[in-house]
Structure 1
Amino acid sequence: MAGNVACLRGWHPALAKAELESLFPKNQVITLESPRLVALDGELDLEQAAINVNSSGGIQAILTDCIIMDWDHKDETKKQFIQNIRNLIEKSTIHGTIGVFSWRQEGRINGLSGSEIASAIGGIATELGYSINLEEPDHKLGIMLDGYSNKVICGWMLDANMDSSGLSKRRATERPFFKPISLDPKLARLAVNLAGGPMDERIILDPMTGTGGFAIEAATMGRNIIAIDMEEEMVEGTMKNIEWALETPKSTIEVIKGDATKLSQHIPKQWYGKISGVVLDPPYGRNSHGTISHFELLESTLSSVCEVCSKDANLVLILPIKAIKIDNYNQLKDDSLIELLHGDWGDFTVMIENSGWKIKGLWSEHVHSSLSRLILHATIVPQG
């Protein structure tokens, strides 16, 4: 047995790992022999973990009571793996139907078929008296073949976020109100989780909401959200988008016309000190603050955020940078490579610190041949 293993999505495993760490702060996250496989060490709240998977942007599935096979092209190894899964089912105390699902990541494993293994396991489950239901099973067994490490992992799935079509349906071009430059929903969702941490009653703040990408994702996963913008068009458009994406709100959603540099004048008093996460994708064309520079606007906004958020708040800030080589498997370790489109990176890091924040992590994402995107994670610096 190998405990609990999380399978990460392939679009940016390094960011997905950071999201996982934020959602599971009580567990130690350990990278295994593949960048898309991580162990979750420590006790899991299974119900909460299932919610986390379905609310994530970068987590594909979590498997518990895992059995791991290192494929060596020997039939005996495969037979022993299947026998171990039989033992797993036999020792379980579950009741109801079982669904067996297989998928692969990071390429194929030569000589192995996930569907063949799943069929064999389904036969064993039937033999042991369980009914198979692939539509709405009471319990799920997941079989994941990882081509990077040549490992096959089987375990009980808390839940699986296999279908990203829901995110695709919320792309900017599908919304009733949109502007050409908007974040992909999966990145917006991941940023909300990275900033907000575990799902709880605290609230997420987007002080420059624009068309509401962050607010939509926060609201659809049931998080409390305050979205602010200076332009009435954006406020009305964000509300229209949220109503389009969400039939029945399950959380507090407040969209407010206001100034991001003067948040204490706009944030409802009952939320003071309860803002756990801040997500910020500033506009970098014309802004609504007239002649104020981008640096001044951002510094004033971040300082303003510190006045209203919790003492352990996290920030995710997204910035356009000149194109750099992208490594989706690792954090950006050499920040000397960063060239901001607006201003000097060294001056920017000083500004971040002066406004009350400390950089915790940096990642980059490809946009096009001359543009990349910097994803910055920061924590608030305790005052006094």
Structure 2
Amino acid sequence: MKNPTLNSALVIAEIGTSHGGSLEKAEKLIDAAVDAGADAVKFQWVYADEILHPDTGFVDLPGGKVRLYDRFKALETDESFFRHCLDYARSKNAKFICSPFGLKSLEKLLKICPDYIKIASPELNHFPLLKATAKNRGDIPVIVSTGVSRLEDIEEALGILGTDKVTLLHCITCYPAPEEEYNLRLVKTLSQKFSVDCGISDHSLDPVLVPCLAVSQGAKIIEKHITLSRETDGLDDPVALTPEQFALMCHTVHQSQAVLRHYGSQKGEAEIIRQMEETAGKQRVERILGTGIKTLAPSEKENYGRTNRSLHFLQDMKAGQIITENSVAVLRTEKILTPGISPRFLEAVQGKTLVRDVKAGEGVLFEDFENFEQAIKNN
């Protein structure tokens, strides 16, 4: 199997759920990714109940408006599906990477021993998942995406996972993500601050700009979605690269890596930037490179607290009822529901008595319990 070396990056083809539950299509996507030059393929192990509440809202797809929960429910597959995909990917000399979204999918993923575990951006604050990953991953490396996050969110996640065999991916959680918001100098900032390798998870539509400029900043991983067609109904297909575009990306990324090997890191960085300026313009390239200061991208700001995790009620409850482990869950808020308090308070709310009636799906709030916020602050 290929391994990234000095001035080299692991190229990941994010298949996600684009297979639609079809093994035949999954194999075609793996074939397309490998033929295009990917070093690894990445899947998502979906159980709808681990991700969101049924009443979270709707999503517009080529076939029409669909309840988002139902879309995730339709993407559920069994362990044999992922085991087959893992074996097939390795038969093609590609690494197999997969994202779990909760404790159930993590447990099943660990059974098949992936080459990497990927923590997606919305799960950066899924503290039960992070703790279980840290405890049970053994020697399996972990890749952590950092979209729609603040610096303190990354710091808290790494405080749980540790930094051994952990790679960060700078990311913008927006579909598609504007190239000029990517602030790619963050690759160096995050790597230096946390003493880990850093790469990029790119949701922009251009197959060249962000990946190549990320290589100039020392990215050790380049991840981008792949699809057989942008016209199909996969959740991420509209922002994914076709096989031809993915091959172009791999080619230009490898060229950029060759520049770094030839010139060395400093001169190589300047040369890659110069080449990108010839096609995209100096001002645009400078905006894409950004300041290197970690902030929420403009396109992410309104989603902070919605695409990442918070506590939500699982059923209607009345004032006076006591919270049990089956009353609340760590979920994404997504479309129409109200965000709740941080998942760090999951254990603290157990046994608490409600002071008001609540509806299923609502975010759990401090004011749902008497003197709860003050008690937390005092502790």
Which category describes the TM-score, using the shorter chain as reference length?
A: under 0.3
**TM-score between the two structures when normalised by the length of structure 2:** 0.27
User: Relative to total residues, which structure has the larger helix share, 1 or 2?
Assistant: 2
Where is the strand percentage greater, Structure 1 or Structure 2?
A: 1
| Structure with the larger RCO, 1 or 2 (CA within 8 Å, 6+ apart) | 2
